Chain A
Amino acid sequence: MRPQQLFDDLNQNFSGILYSGLVIKDEIRHATLGSGIDPDDHEALIMRLYFIAIDPEKDITYFINQYEEGKYLYFIKVDEGVWLFILSANQSFAKLHFYVKFLLSDNSLRFDEPDETRSHTTDERLNSAKRIQDMLLPNLDAVLKGLGTYELLYQPKDVVGGDFYWAHQDKDVTWIAVGDCTGHSMEGALASVSVMSILNQLYHRDMKPHWLIKGLHKSLSDMQNQSLTDGYGIGCELLVMRIDHKQGELTYSGTGMPLYHLNQGKLKIFHTKSANLDPARVIKYIRTRKLPLVRKDAILVHSDGIKDQLSPLGKRFSTRRLYQVLFADGTLRLDNLQQELNRHRGSEPQTDDIIALKLVI
């Protein structure tokens, strides 16, 4: 287990961790700071405790200092010369202690690569994955040339992610899909690349959108039955649109993603059922719906990463706020969304991959 995995795990499972890290060879390393914590206020004490702890005569395995203001500092030996420290505002240190012991009993910390090398290698891998993902992401300028305009907000949580868009143009018919595959980063990218490849194979100009979704889920299900022995496979929520420019008609089908349609100042939101919990049942009854389009109509699709974005206080951006930002002045505005999301997020890391695509026909 890498140190960062340990801290991610701890932070996910315990609230109130203010400052955590390792002391290795007399230096604080891999430190993770909570908001409003100044490491300078605590480092002297941490180092003093570390020097007590490593005294071979004392045989200390762990210790806890409790402070009056409802904080405690937990110190445990994880390896020879390596001590984990956690400054926490949560009083239930017994739970934390047993959880750390449980984590470390099955996984020893690995320091075989220095941080710099590791992040460099990871960056290289992510950039390679990005190159492959970019190859499959369509050029929307080319696809929509002369048929409409678009705005795209595409922001993976990492360099690559599970959100994607897919498009095809065949004479007067445009196919566009926006998808959200399970997982982030490399895992999400692999899933999205697989899904885009399957869509490319299945797509036919004159098919109905729900056939494409059914075909995709059948392919994923077949693929996973063959190779999946444990865990979960590729899950994907997506919305597929077929725009017939000649007929002035949009047909669409989807799972777990809303479709916004702005027609002459009136906004309609069409929700679709999520296929995450019971994909077989949802896919069985999925159908294609039809919307008449007139010139200047706007269409918008987005993934759930926007409404799920957390603020530093743990508050979600929320669907209500999303509607307010998108429909601020009676038009569907995507340009403000990025700014509003950044303001809401503050110092908090991005919660999920984000995609929003707006088309004006």
Chain B
Amino acid sequence: MEIILFNFYFYIIEQNEPLRSYGRKVNPMNNDLDQLLDELLNTYTDALAVSFHSMELPITVSKGEAADILEKYKDIPMLSLDETFQTTFSFIITKSGSIVIFFINQLHFVSVYTTNADPNKELASRMYDSFKDRFEQAIAIAL
């Protein structure tokens, strides 16, 4: 019984404390995700940082000069999911800039931090359309 509880405890720790990396690869499975985030950071106008985290994958990858800001808001995507898991975007506007969150298959979150005071919905939609399928494929590989 004690062994089971012990193992369960570490299982919980592992789920809640995924491997973190700021600007470097941490998991051989996230090569594609890593490249995609680089590409997103370079393509998304005004983006200062991007990050990926997930409810299913123990991976957190953050990139860019303001990656620590995204760390501060990493609990938001999960909390902003509606009961029917239909959420596609969140635009969070703070005093220092905006964070756009893409929900990939409802359980994986890609966040983009920009200094724009108001979210550019069209740009976000364009980015979402051009990256969504590729993120889905990368996630499928990582899973």
Residues of chain A having any CB pair with chain B under 8 Å: 41, 44-45, 48-49, 51-52, 57-69, 93-94, 97
Contact = CB atoms under 8 A, between A and B. Distances in A.
B88 interface: yes
Interface of B: 72-73, 75-76, 79-80, 82-83, 86-96, 118-119, 121
A278 B90 CA distance: 51
Given A59-B95, A60-B94, A63-B92, A49 B80 contact: yes
Contacts of B87: 65-68
A60 B119 CA distance: 13
A67 B86 contact: yes
B80 A66 contact: no
B94 A45 contact: no
Nearest to A97: B118
B80 A65 contact: yes
A64 B91 contact: yes
B82 A61 contact: no
Contacts of B76: 52, 58
Contact of A52 (B79, B83, B93): B79
Contact of A59 (B82, B86, B94, B118): B94
A202 to B, nearest CB: 58
A140 B119 CA distance: 63
Contacts, number: 60
Contact of B80 (A52, A61, A68, A93): A52
A52 B99 CA distance: 14
A68 B87 CA distance: 6
Given A60-B94, A64-B91, A64-B119, 19 more contacts: A44-B83, A45-B82, A49-B79, A52-B79, A52-B80, A58-B76, A60-B92, A61-B94, A63-B92, A63-B93, A65-B80, A65-B82, A66-B88, A67-B86, A67-B88, A68-B86, A68-B88, A93-B121, A94-B118
Nearest to B120: A94
Given A57-B72, A59-B96, A64-B119, A41 B91 contact: no
B95 A65 contact: no
Nearest to A98: B118
Nearest to A42: B82
A94 B120 CA distance: 9
A61 to B, nearest CB: 5
Nearest to B73: A58
A341 B118 CA distance: 46
The 4 closest A-B pairs by CB, nearest first: A66-B89, A59-B95, A67-B86, A63-B92
Contacts of B86: 67-69
Given A67-B88, A68-B88, A94-B121, A61 B83 contact: no
A63 B90 contact: yes
A93 B89 CA distance: 13
Contact of B89 (A57, A65, A69, A94): A65
Contacts of B73: 58
10 contacts: A52-B75, A59-B94, A60-B92, A60-B93, A62-B93, A65-B82, A66-B90, A67-B86, A68-B88, A93-B121
Contacts of A41: 83
Contacts of A68: 86-88
A52 B88 CA distance: 18
A66 to B, nearest CB: 4
